[in-house]
Chain A
Amino acid sequence: MSDAIAMPRAGLAGTAVPGRLGAPGAAGVMLGEVVPAAVASISLRRGGGEAARAALSEMGLGLPDAGRCLVQGARTVLAAAPGRWTVIDEGGADAPAMLARALGAQADVTDLTGSRVMLRLWGSRARDSLMKLVPIDLHERAFTAGCAATTAAARVAVQVWQSDAAPVYHLMFERSYVRYMWGAVAAAVVEYGCDVKELAAAAASRREQQP
């Protein structure tokens, strides 16, 4: 029976479609789902800090401080909790295995691919929209490119980070909440008019699902 290869499903599949959301006219917000090739969690073992950093730096990665993220090419590393980071790779699917190999006994790597929904928001009113969702200070003096937070949006645990000064924000949450969270995100952006974009990775994922 396992003749054809089964394909993953984007988080927003069945929930949102590309197009205009809310007010007409120039869109204040652009929004799209990023479907990363891999997501992994790194949990540092006791005394593993120095060696783990050294191992990661060979891969061109680092472990950002609390409240920070590092964006290196297609890879983003988020500080998630004390001693814990989330790695997002928009490029290759082998990141969890590579990380596990590189880190060895210094840290445990757990594959989280497919378990999170990651939204990218940008545009002139992206910050205003996000202010309705997360109870943290997003002002340019407090939250800049390279900042990350683990917080709550509409009572759901989220990771939020800013990857670009433009600003470009990302919001990531557990997959099972996607329909509820889409309601919350849509409610936050309709006032400004939002273009829901089909980002490259999501588009690929959806295309592959066609029979």
Chain B
Amino acid sequence: MTMHLTPSRAPTARAAGRRWTGGLIDRSTTVPFTFDGRTLSGHPGDTLASALLANGVRLVGRSFKYHRPRGILTAGPEEPNALVELRSGARREPNTRATVAELYPGLDARSQNRWPSLALDLMAVNSLAAPILHAGFYYKTFMWPAAFWEAVYEPLIRRAAGLGRAARAVDPDVYERAHLFCDVLVVGSGPAGLMAALAAARSGARVVLCEQDFRLGGRLLSETTDFAAGDAASWVTAAEGELAATRTVRVLRRTTVFGIFDHGECAAVERVSDHLPEPSPHAVRQRYWKIVARRIVLAAGAIERPMVFAGNDRPGVMTASAVRSYINRYGVVPGSRAVVLGGCNDAQQTAEALRLAGASVEAIIEPHQAPARSRDWRRMAGARIVGTRGRLSLSSVEVAEASGKRERIPADLIAMAGGWDPTLHLTCHLGGRPAWDETISAFVPGSLPPGLQVAGAAAGRFSLQAAFEDGAREGRAAAEAAGFKAPAMDVPQCRDAPAYEAPAFWQVEHGGAKAFIDFQNDVTADDIALASREGYRRAEHAKRYTTLGMATDQGKTSGVNGIAALAAVNRDTIARTGTTVYRPPYTPVAIGAIAGHERGRMFRPSRLTPTNDWAREQGAVFVEVGAWYRAQWYPKPNETDWLQSVSREAAAVRASVGVCDVSTLGKIEVTGPDAGRMLDFIYANTFSTLPVGKVRYGVMLREDGHVLDDGTVARFAADRYFLTTTTAHADKVLRHMEFCHQVLRPELDVSFLAVTDCWAQLAIAGPKSRDVLAAIVDGFDLATAAFPHMGAAELTVCGGVPARLYRLSFSGELAYELGVRADFGDAVIRRIMAAGAPFGITPYGTEAMTVLRVEKGFAASGELNGQTTAADLGLAGLLSSKKDFVGRAASRLPALARADRPALVSFKPVDPQQQLNAGAHFLAPGARAETANDQGYMTSVAYSPTLASWIGLGMLRDGPRRIGETVRAYDPVRKGDVEVIVHPACQFDPTGARPRV
């Protein structure tokens, strides 16, 4: 690839768009691409914008509101006009800025916001309606009738609003997140950024340099300024080489730092594969970097301001810096007959660049009277542009001279040198407000976030010399602040660098024609004036009212002109008019980059139980319970619906034996000499008295007296307990326990260890459970005399597998929970199935488990819903009166102790086959279905094959004293309205004899 940074000095008169020599493009390779179906070609090094201009394409889009023809205004990320749809199908991406889209072979771009075509856009009739489509139009028009808001206005506005079309298919690309730490982060690789990176790197600091472009150098790539150290190209190449050779430096190209957060944390997006037709296999499309930096040097440069005059939005009107970029960097002449606007060095430089490129410079229009400095140009001092012409792009410029004389100058390019605005966005992300600097007529960084320094143009110091000096100084200072010794460094000396002259020029009289301030949002100078007249006189209010600076622009090109216009109509100063501030992201960031891998099945962590693979072999249907996948039921081939499977499983447990994986229960090992005392404090009932070798049901309250969770606690030694929590509350309970220990009872010597993953916990339930278990234990006596109800023991099973056994029942049957080391879970479930085969052992899932526990009236997550007290759940007897415990005081509050609170009872429909719905509300028969008559709600339902009826648990006002009454279970959401009879919570084996056999 042949590169020439400095364009050839030999001018060759050519028409606009054609390439001459020079520029950082590789002419030896042709890159074909399409725009609106037309096949065109560019070269490596081109952006879509430069390639379009090279092909003479000037019209690239239609404006948002008025559908006016728009061209390319800038050469950078601030581009408000040239937004295109890139790629097609699932990769289609709207609102891509053509000025930053790197050209790749086969790039497929389409213009937006036009119908049927770009040249003939019928929606442009909006322009005719322009007098009524002013700022605030929507607010004023769509006010009444209110009934129209959702039905008529919203769909109407939504169809008219928005720009571009998002892809409808799933994004086929992959995105990821990565973390980076450094001493000094340098944002921007122009002269200031490169100097800062070099200075910091030479100190030995770890440096990260982020450049949003695909090439380092910033404005050095687009200007022809020579300096003493040689030409810009060799200087950039040398700097790049030095950084690449330094181990502690990481240079990230195509990477935009788009946000700064607390503690030096920055967010950046690296466009890893956006410059390719599609990511190579195994490569991501974009990478989100979280960069944590001790110091940050912001060297993001500046953005040139457009100028406000009648017809300033016509394709062919460009910022002067963009004109120089296209000529010098891309070797494209964006016009053949140019008018340069602005009375500053930038205007002069641009005129020279255009002339060198072979374009004719028709005039330099200096809006303010200024002495002519050269006889090379036609200078029109004190003149102003009063209008532009051209159907789809610029053909002539109407100029009014100072004398009032008007002239039409044929031109296809206007280069606006409107002065520069520092790219200070990142300084605002933590609440900093820009400050108005009268000497350069621009906002400069105000108060800076901790650790952030600003260098060069971003700080409002616009000369090349200042950029070099700032970069060196700030880079060294950053490294020193991070604890490194930064050596002194030589700063390149620029030849005759002229001082920056701020063009204090805001807008000219524009008569009735539209003079745009915000091209992207079609906000004109008149809209700003209207906002002011209607009382929106502060910058922030005017922005909301007019939509100035919204969307991708975010004030980059429109902010200062808007504020200046507002100040002018307010007859106030810019400083007093105020400014809007910036928040992340600096430029648009694809949602995919933020999501990374967290989509589809990777959306959040998921957990599998130790028997998962075995259960899959059995054809289990799984249900997500929090992060867990649990077997919900195990369908048999002949079963046609889930209820058949679930009823079969539940009945098998009652009749013989079943096995269920309950490993998802939260498990916590509590150890230490004060373990018992600690548990006495955490649970409402007492555990210090629990004998070793026993397990006890426990309930813990929140400080506010409501039930937090329930579970069982087993004691294996004087100083060792093992407790289980509900699946849903496992994390919450451990956090609560740590809080209770560390904050409330720090004097106790106790530790908690989450051991959920240590144990494959298998419930073996049913009259034959003892027989099954007997076949796998290694010489352990299961007889009730040796191992009674609520016994707990450590043992081995299956020939030496370490295990813990608990004789407890969540099903109302004789049952055991067997805990084996998790890595043996798969082997042990297979042994249990083999051992249980003679008894027809049936694996059962969470649904059958629910059937069994609803029959028994046992509370689970539906009842432990954070609104219920122990008394509500029929557990008042568990609240110890002999000790203090968390929630004790609040549980005695009158409101929680009231007798008529909704309390746990069970329900059967009058017609046993009528299905019940959890969530149904209880009403007295005949009572109107309104909140005032609400008597509680259904919390769990199941079909009980044993009782041959649907049954439910619920919280009914004064429920335990209303046994036998009939109430309505009313469920307007699912159109349920069922008469149910109130029963005691436990409908099966109320004496609890079965588990004790």
| A interface, CB within 8 angstroms of B | 1-11, 14, 22-23, 41, 43, 45-46, 83-84, 108, 110-116, 131-132, 134-137, 139, 141-142, 154-156, 174-181, 183-184, 187-188, 190-191, 193, 209
Tell me whether chain A's interface is mostly helix, strand or loop, or mixed: loop
Is the C-beta of B225 less than 8 angstroms from some C-beta in chain A? no
CB-CB contacts of B513-527 with A at 8 A, as 1s and 0s? 000000000000000
Contact with B801, one of A6, A43, A115 (Cβ below 8 angstroms): A6
**Bound complex: CA of A108 vs CA of B759, how far in Å?**
18
Asked whether B608 lies within 8 Å of A178 as measured between CB atoms, the reply is yes
Smallest CB separation, B285 vs chain A (Å): 12
Q: Which residues of B are in contact with A by a Cβ distance under 8 Å?
A: 174, 176-181, 206, 281-284, 290, 292, 597, 601-602, 604-610, 613, 628, 663, 669, 671-673, 719-720, 749, 751, 753, 755-759, 775-778, 797-802, 821-828, 831, 834-835
**Closest 7 pairs between A and B when the two form their complex, measured CB to CB:** A114-B823, A8-B823, A108-B671, A176-B607, A137-B181, A6-B827, A43-B751
Q: Cβ of B672 and Cβ of A9 under 8 Å apart?
A: no
Say whether chain B's binding surface is mostly helix, strand, loop, or mixed. Answer: mixed
Q: How many angstroms from the CA of A193 to the CA of B181 in the assembled complex?
A: 24
Residue of A nearest to B287 (CB): A132
Question: How far is A108 from B749 in the complex, measured between Cα atoms in Å?
Answer: 11
Which chain B residues border A3 with CB–CB below 8 Å? 799
The interface residues of chain B lying within 8 Å CB-to-CB of A23 are 281-282
Q: A4 vs B827: C-alpha distance in the bound complex, in angstroms?
A: 11
**A2→B284 contact, CB < 8 A:** no
Residues of the B chain whose Cβ atoms lie less than 8 Å from the Cβ of A111: 758, 802
Which A residues touch B799, using CB under 8 A?
2-6
Asked whether A176 lies within 8 Å of B609 as measured between CB atoms, the reply is yes
- Cβ–Cβ < 8 Å partners of A188 in chain B: 176
**Residues in chain A near residue B284, CB distance under 8 A:** 191
Docked-complex contact A6 and B798, CB < 8 angstroms: yes
Taking a contact as CB atoms under 8 Å apart, the answer to whether B827 and A9 are in contact is: yes
B174 close to A187 (CB less than 8 A):
yes
Q: Do the beta carbons of B177 and A110 come within 8 Å of each other?
A: no
Distance, CA A158 to CA B263, complexed state (A): 24
Contacts of A6 in B (CB 8 A): 797-801, 824, 827-828, 831
Q: Which residue of chain A has its CB nearest to the CB of B604?
A: A155
CB closest residue in chain B, given A153:
B605
Q: Please name all residues of chain B whose beta carbon is closer than 8 Å to the beta carbon of A136 when the two chains form the complex.
A: 179
Chain B residues within 8 Å of A114, by CB: 758, 821-824
Cβ distance A8 to chain B, nearest Cβ, rounded Å: 4
B831 to chain A, nearest CB (A): 6
Question: Contacts A2-B831, A191-B282; is A43 near B671 (CB within 8 Å)?
Answer: yes
CB distance from A149 to the nearest CB of B (A): 12
Shortest CB-to-CB span from B900 to chain A, Å, is 44
Residues of A within 8 A of B179 (CB): 131-132, 134-137
Check B757–A115 contact: CB distance below 8 A.
Answer: yes
Contacting pair A110 B798 (CB below 8 A): no
Taking the closest CB of chain B, its distance from the CB of A73, in whole angstroms, is 23
Q: Is the Cβ of A84 less than 8 Å from the Cβ of B177?
A: no
Of the candidates B174, B775, B823, the one whose C-beta lies within 8 Å of that of A2 is B775
List chain B residues, Cβ under 8 A from A7. Answer: 824, 827
For the complex, what is the distance from the CA of A18 to the CA of B824, rounded to whole Å?
Answer: 22
User: Complex Cα distance A187/B823, Å?
Assistant: 25
Residues of A within 8 A of B835 (CB): 1
Look across to chain A and name the residue whose beta carbon is closest to the beta carbon of B717.
A108
Q: Which residues of the other chain, A, contact B778 by a CB distance below 8 angstroms?
A: 2
Not counting A114-B822, A139-B206, a sample of 6 additional A-B residue pairs whose C-beta atoms are within 8 angstroms of each other reads: A9-B827, A113-B821, A114-B823, A132-B176, A132-B178, A177-B606
Query: A2-B778, A6-B801, A9-B826 are known contacts. Are A45 and B292 too (CB-CB below 8 A)?
Result: no
The CA-CA distance from A178 to B835 in the complex, in Å, is 29
Considering only CB atoms, which chain A residue lies closest to B181 in the complex?
A137
Which single residue of chain A is at the shortest CB-CB distance from B758?
A115
| Residues B720 and A108 in contact, CB atoms below 8 Å apart | yes
Between-chain CB contacts (< 8 Å), 10 pairs: A1-B831, A2-B798, A7-B824, A43-B753, A114-B821, A114-B823, A114-B824, A175-B757, A180-B606, A191-B284
Residues of B within 8 A of A139 (CB): 181, 206
Assess whether B827 is in contact with A8, with CB atoms less than 8 Å apart. Answer: yes
Q: Contact between B613 and A14 (Cβ–Cβ < 8 Å)?
A: yes
Please, which residue of chain B has its CB at the minimum distance from the CB of A179?
Answer: B608
A179 to B613, CA, bound (A): 11
A53 to B693, CA, bound (A): 32
Give the one of A10, A108, A141, A191 with max B CB within 10 A: A108
**Is A175 a contact of B283 with CB atoms below 8 Å?**
no
A188 to B420, alpha carbons, bound, how many Å? 42
Q: Given that A23-B281, A187-B597, A191-B283 are known contacts, is A175 also in contact with B822, CB under 8 Å in the complex?
A: yes
Q: Which of B176, B281, B756, B831 contacts A187 (CB 8 A)?
A: B176
Q: Pick the residue among A137, A174, A183, A190 that contacts B282 (CB under 8 A).
A: A190
CA A191 to CA B799, docked complex, whole Å: 45
> Which A residues are in CB contact (< 8 Å) with B292?
137
B610→A175 contact, CB < 8 A: yes
Query: Which residues of B lie under 8 Å from residue A46 when comparing CB positions?
Result: 749
A183 to B176, CA, bound (A): 13
**A184/B758 in contact, CB under 8 A:** no
Q: Knowing A6-B801, A139-B181, A183-B602 touch, does A11 contact B672 (C-beta < 8 A)?
A: no
Residues of B within 8 A of A141 (CB): 206
Residues of A within 8 A of B181 (CB): 137, 139, 142
With A8-B824, A23-B281 given, is the CB distance from A110 to B755 under 8 Å?
yes
**In the docked arrangement, what's the CA distance between A4 and B282, Å?**
44
Q: How far is the CA of A10 from the CA of B610 in the complex (A)?
A: 11
Quote the shortest CB–CB distance from B302 to chain A (angstroms): 33
A17–chain B nearest beta-carbon distance, Å: 14
Q: Which of B597, B628, B797 contacts A154 (CB 8 A)?
A: B597
A162 to chain B, nearest CB (A): 15
Closest Cβ of chain A: how far from B804's Cβ, in Å? 11
Contact with B776, one of A1, A43, A116, A187 (Cβ below 8 angstroms):
A1
Given A5-B798, A22-B282, A177-B605, the answer on whether A110 and B776 have CB atoms closer than 8 Å is no
Contact B824 A9 (CB under 8 A): yes
With A135-B290, A175-B610 as contacts: A45 and B605 at CB distance below 8 Å: no
Interface centre among B602, B609, B758, B823 (most CB of A within 10 A): B823
Query: Do B828 and A116 touch across chains, with their CB atoms under 8 A apart?
Result: no
Checking A11, A112, A179, A209 against B606 with a beta-carbon cut-off of 8 angstroms, the contacting residue is A179
Q: How far is the CA of A5 from the CA of B206 in the complex (A)?
A: 55
Q: Which residues in A have their C-beta under 8 angstroms from that of B281?
A: 23
B605, A156: Cβ atoms closer than 8 Å: yes
Partner of A115, one of B597, B822, B834: B822
CB distance from B618 to the nearest CB of A (A): 15
| Known contacts A131-B179, A137-B292, A177 near B607 by CB under 8 Å | yes
Shortest B347–chain A CB gap in Å is: 47
Residues of B within 8 A of A154 (CB): 597, 602, 605
Given contacts A43-B671, A45-B749, contact A131 B178 (CB under 8 A): yes
Q: How far is the CA of A142 from the CA of B179 in the complex (A)?
A: 14
Q: How far is the CA of A3 from the CA of B801 in the complex (A)?
A: 13
Could you say which residues of chain A place their CB within 8 Å of the CB of B604? 155
Residues of B within 8 A of A1 (CB): 775-776, 831, 834-835
| Bound: A111/B821 CA distance, A | 9
Write the nearest CB–CB distance from B830 to chain A, whole angstroms. 8
**Does the CB pair B178–A108 fall under 8 Å?**
no
In the bound complex, residues from chain A placing their C-beta under 8 Å from that of B597 are 154, 183-184, 187
Q: Is the CB of B824 within 8 A of A108?
A: no
Q: How far is the CB of A31 from chain B (nearest CB, A)?
A: 15
Provide the bound-state CA to CA distance between A113 and B290, in Å: 35
Residues of A within 8 A of B756 (CB): 174, 176
